[in-house]
Structure 1
Amino acid sequence: MKIAVLSEAAPDERRVSATAETVKKFVQLGASVAVEAGAGRSASVADADYAAAGATLGSRAEALADADVVLAVQGPAPDSLTGIKPGAWLVAGLNPFGERARVDGYAALGIEALAMEWMPRITRAQSMDILSSQSNLAGYKAVIDAAAAYGRAFPMMMTAAGTVSAARVFVMGVGVAGLQAIATARRLGAQVSATDVRSATKEQIQSLGAKPIFVENVAGIEGEGSGGYATEMSPEYQKAQAELVSSHLARQDVVITTALIPGKPAPRLISDAQLATMRPGSVVVDLAVEQGGNVEGAVAGEVVERHGVRILGHRNVPSRLAADASALFARNLYNFLSAYWDKDAGRPVLPDEDEVTQGIRLTRAGAVVHPRLLQA
């Protein structure tokens, strides 16, 4: 069985879908691996490293020729897959709602498109979850970016010349990225607080040494959707949360927003009026900027200033840590394929009734088959 590893064409994408480590593991399973020359360069993986691990190097056409499985970070354009054989698997982050036309293109090619970001959040699939591995790094990087943009120190410092107060950091949205942001800000010595619509996260916030900021006495709202994701809140909750956040924001130096709802625009957490209450020199990092943004005025790919507050809207934050992000992403893909490896068949086999199969399979036999896409 042949596995192809493609280079990434998306702007600002520096990651790669396989490393020398995972290539070696695929070879040990009995697969042959073909890597598009230069695919790992921006992630600090040289072609020589791939070759030493047992891969062959060549052009994209050579990599795709007779490939049974094609690996990528972001879904490639269908017209860049010339020569791919019908029935081949495309395993990548495919952004099914945002790139629906591409999904239709994969169906037209007759390939089986597997969207790794739709991996079910179940125990046995944790090691395959690209959203968790990449969000973890994004939460860390958000704090580092904020510290670089913030014109003051994070920790409290007592010196002969006087005391420097600790920075106040507020994390909005306590998923994987938010929890890592809390932990990183705490390590840097900041005073950290956090909020989330899911009441179950309060103990997680406290366990990291941060102060939970939660709406109280709004009955019947837990904010917990399927798979551990947040859901949209009622108007009553949104109003109470806005009032609570407004009073808290005015005292913060750094705010990091991470709130996302699958398949929908990012919820608006901070308005322009709320930004105006923050003191000049404060920093806001919007990790949801590519899905519409949690912060009014945030611009994807830019750092803007409003009311003296700097708003960081970096695109593709995990890619800003390309080597580590690639290592984790590649292991997610390897863990997925190896978990379904059939030794007798010499390749991975996905049972139709399997929960993971049903969660990630978008196309098959020339048609779009995922219920979420068919409903949309």
Structure 2
Amino acid sequence: MRIGIPRETRDGETRVAATPETVKKYVATGHQVLIERQAGKAAHFDDGAYEQAGAVLTDSNDALGADLVLKVRAPDAEELSKMRRTAFLVGMLDPFDAASNDAIAAAGLTAFALEAAPRTTRAQSLDVLSSQANLAGYKAVLLGAHYYGKMFPMMMTAAGTIKAARVVVLGTGVAGLQAIATAKRLGAVVEASDVRPAAKEQVESLGAKFIDVPFETDEEREIAQGVGGYARPMPAAWMARQATLVAERCKQADIVISTALIPGRPAPTLISAETVRSMKPGSVIIDLAVERGGNCPLSQKGKVVQEHDVTLVGLTNLPGMLATDASALYSRNVMDFLKLIIDKDGKLVINREDDIVTACLICEDGKNLRNA
């Protein structure tokens, strides 16, 4: 089978869907790997390394014209025009983007969106959201340290004592937990908030304080459990109580890192404009939810702005700022997923008895299964 790895064309996308490590393994199992020249350059994988791994260097037409195309982001219209009908496509395709799904289906492709994999033990090795969110949480703290005009750790010097920075993390999924761990390693005093009661133990195990919003009804407690490892929208009354507590903590914070997302929905507003106005001069907000509208209405996608002497960082694709490691982790996730759709004879198959395969399958033979 021919496996194609094109160069990513989306602005700011530095990752690549296969590294020399994974290419070598594909070739060892009898597949021909066609990789577009310079596909790995932004992630510091040169063409020579791919050739040594057994790949064939080619142009975008050949890479996109393969039997199986591996990508990081969903293909645009020009890329789709170069792909063969009946080809298989695997990548982070955003299963909630109806227009993109329709375009992929119209191109006659069978496509798998890896973000849709269930959060189960068996799916951990191919969980692209977790592998990339880990890096995003780490990078978010480094960005906070960069834009914050003071030190993170407490430091005692002959000239006096510097107080430790106070960091608040909103949302304690994979990115949030990594942000907590990284901020603690840098010496900050860390607090964190999440709707899920189970998050409290995880937060405290990392040495942070949990911002506990009490539940007043059984309905609130049930909704807070989430579904499949994801948070669910909370009732307005609980959100109001959380907003009050979060606002108080943000007023005292030096850096706020917000990571709260709900699949298929706009990001919830956790930091109001009024809260930003009340924050200390020189404080920083890193809004990791900015691609879905942001956890703060003052965040601007792709920009770093100042409002009320607070720096709001709305940079997107933080994993892409760590492109080498992000590509290495992502490519391994992809390789583990391919084990589920390539049989022992090296042919592409769809096993409808496999819950991971069926969850990720968004288009088949020209049909958008998300509209089915």
Q: How many residues align?
A: 369
Question: What are the Cα deviations for residues 61-87 of structure 1, in whole angstroms up to 9, with x where unaligned?
Answer: 12233x221000001114323343322
Give 2:364's aligned residue: 364
- Secondary structure of residue in 2 paired with 1:169: strand
Structure 1 residue 351 displacement after superposition: 0.6
Shift of the 158–47 alpha-carbon distance from structure 1 to 2, 3 Å rule, reads same
Give 1:267's aligned residue: 268
Give 1:173's aligned residue: 171
Question: What are the Cα deviations for residues 172-214 of structure 1, in whole angstroms up to 9, with x where unaligned?
Answer: 0000000000000000000001000111100000000000001
Structure 1, unaligned runs of 5 or more: none
1:43-192 aligned within 5 A: 43-65=43-65, 67-98=66-97, 100-192=98-190
Contact 1:298 1:312 in 2 (8 A): yes
- Secondary structure of residue in 2 paired with 1:228: coil
Contact 1:338 1:348 in 2 (8 A): no
Which residue identity does 1:214 align to in structure 2? Answer: D
What is the CA–CA distance in structure 2 between the aligned matches of 1:76 and 1:365, rounded to whole Å?
Answer: 17
What is the CA–CA distance in structure 2 between the aligned matches of 1:158 and 1:105, rounded to whole Å?
Answer: 59
Give 2:226's aligned residue: 225
- Secondary structure of residue in 2 paired with 1:273: helix
Compute the RMSD of aligned alpha carbons. 1.2
Structure 1 residue 102 displacement after superposition: 2.4
- Of stretches 39-48 and 215-224 in structure 1, the one that deviates more from structure 2 is 215-224
What is the CA–CA distance in structure 2 between the aligned matches of 1:175 and 1:359, rounded to whole Å?
Answer: 21
- Secondary structure of residue in 1 paired with 2:50: helix
What is the CA–CA distance in structure 2 between the aligned matches of 1:109 and 1:348, rounded to whole Å?
Answer: 18
What is the CA–CA distance in structure 1 between the aligned matches of 2:173 and 2:124, rounded to whole Å?
Answer: 14
Structure 2, unaligned runs of 5 or more: none
Contact 2:340 2:357 in 1 (8 A): no
Contact 1:205 1:212 in 2 (8 A): yes
Structure 1 residue 16 displacement after superposition: 0.5
1:258-337 aligned within 5 A: 258-337=259-338
What is the CA–CA distance in structure 2 between the aligned matches of 1:219 and 1:137, rounded to whole Å?
Answer: 36
- Secondary structure of residue in 1 paired with 2:202: helix
What is the CA–CA distance in structure 1 between the aligned matches of 2:83 and 2:159, rounded to whole Å?
Answer: 67
What is the CA–CA distance in structure 1 between the aligned matches of 2:173 and 2:20, rounded to whole Å?
Answer: 30
TM-score by length of 1: 0.95
Structure 1 residue 60 displacement after superposition: 1.1
Structure 1 residue 159 displacement after superposition: 0.9
Question: What are the Cα deviations for residues 24-49 of structure 1, in whole angstroms up to 9, with x where unaligned?
Answer: 01111221100011110000010111
Structure 1 residue 339 displacement after superposition: 4.2
What is the CA–CA distance in structure 2 between the aligned matches of 1:96 and 1:117, rounded to whole Å?
Answer: 7
What is the CA–CA distance in structure 2 between the aligned matches of 1:22 and 1:316, rounded to whole Å?
Answer: 23
What is the CA–CA distance in structure 2 between the aligned matches of 1:298 and 1:84, rounded to whole Å?
Answer: 37
Structure 1 residue 342 displacement after superposition: 1.7
1:198-213 aligned within 5 A: 198-213=196-211
Structure 1 residue 88 displacement after superposition: 1.4
Give 2:3's aligned residue: 3
- State the percentage of identical aligned residues: 50
Contact 2:213 2:245 in 1 (8 A): yes
> Are 1:33 and 2:33 counterparts?
yes
- Secondary structure of residue in 1 paired with 2:328: helix
Question: What are the Cα deviations for residues 254-303 of structure 1, in whole angstroms up to 9, with x where unaligned?
Answer: 00000000000000000011111111000010000010000121000111
What is the CA–CA distance in structure 2 between the aligned matches of 1:158 and 1:235, rounded to whole Å?
Answer: 45
Which residue identity does 1:326 align to in structure 2? Answer: S
Structure 1 residue 225 displacement after superposition: 2.3
Give 1:338's aligned residue: 339
Contact 1:362 1:369 in 2 (8 A): yes
What is the CA–CA distance in structure 1 between the aligned matches of 2:21 and 2:362, rounded to whole Å?
Answer: 28
Structure 1 residue 161 displacement after superposition: 1.1
TM-score by length of 2: 0.96
Contact 2:215 2:238 in 1 (8 A): no
Contact 2:95 2:115 in 1 (8 A): no
What is the CA–CA distance in structure 1 between the aligned matches of 2:129 and 2:333, rounded to whole Å?
Answer: 10
Contact 1:90 1:114 in 2 (8 A): yes
Question: What are the Cα deviations for residues 316-351 of structure 1, in whole angstroms up to 9, with x where unaligned?
Answer: 1111111111111111001111244321x2134331
Which residue identity does 1:270 align to in structure 2? Answer: I
- Secondary structure of residue in 2 paired with 1:250: helix
Which residue identity does 1:128 align to in structure 2? Answer: L
- Secondary structure of residue in 1 paired with 2:286: strand
- Of stretches 117-126 and 264-273 in structure 1, the one that deviates more from structure 2 is 117-126
Structure 1 residue 96 displacement after superposition: 2.7
What is the CA–CA distance in structure 1 between the aligned matches of 2:64 and 2:251, rounded to whole Å?
Answer: 54
- Secondary structure of residue in 2 paired with 1:95: coil
What is the CA–CA distance in structure 1 between the aligned matches of 2:88 and 2:242, rounded to whole Å?
Answer: 44
Structure 1 stretches of 4+ with a deviation exceeding 6 A read none
- Of stretches 129-138 and 88-97 in structure 1, the one that deviates more from structure 2 is 88-97
